[in-house]
Amino acid sequence: MEQEKTLVLIKPDGVQRGLIGEIIGRFERKGLKLVGLKLLQLPCHKAEELYFPHQGKAFYSYLIQFMTSTPIVAIALQGRNAIELVRLLNGATDPAESEPGSIRGDFSIDVTHNIVHASDSPKNAQRELEVLFDSSELFEYQRIEEPILHRLTT
């Protein structure tokens, strides 16, 4: 199966609550490879570009305000079924529907302040990664367990 890349954002509430290491650790322990990482104050124009699909929705203005209020962490992850795995680890967008053990199920109580954002499709992952990362900020390397985790079965 082909390796996918996806974007995860640790939202301002996750950064402010000191959950960066916990969240990154969950993805790494699952076998996903960190290929890009940065702490940044998201400029308004980048937030608008990132959340363009939600423009016109009732929550859009507040979402932009929230996402630009304090630093966030942008994470590029790579692995087999990375998009699906990240969404599973994150849990449902509405924390009230998130399973215990998921990031949102364990740490969030509100649909806007739900700790993390993740790409929902290969097309959106590519678009969102391009909004947050230059190609020179994404790295290729092999983790020691990759031959075992990602070997092809016959």
- 54 included as an active-site residue: no
124 exposure class (CB count in 10 Å sphere: 0-12, 13-18, 19+): middle
Which residue of the set 45, 54, 117, 150 is catalytic?
A: 117
- CA 40-54-3 angle, to 5 degrees, is 65
CA distance 39 to 12: 11
Q: Are 142 and 148 in contact (CB under 8 A)?
A: no
CA distance 122 to 21: 25
Annotated catalytic sites, by residue? 117
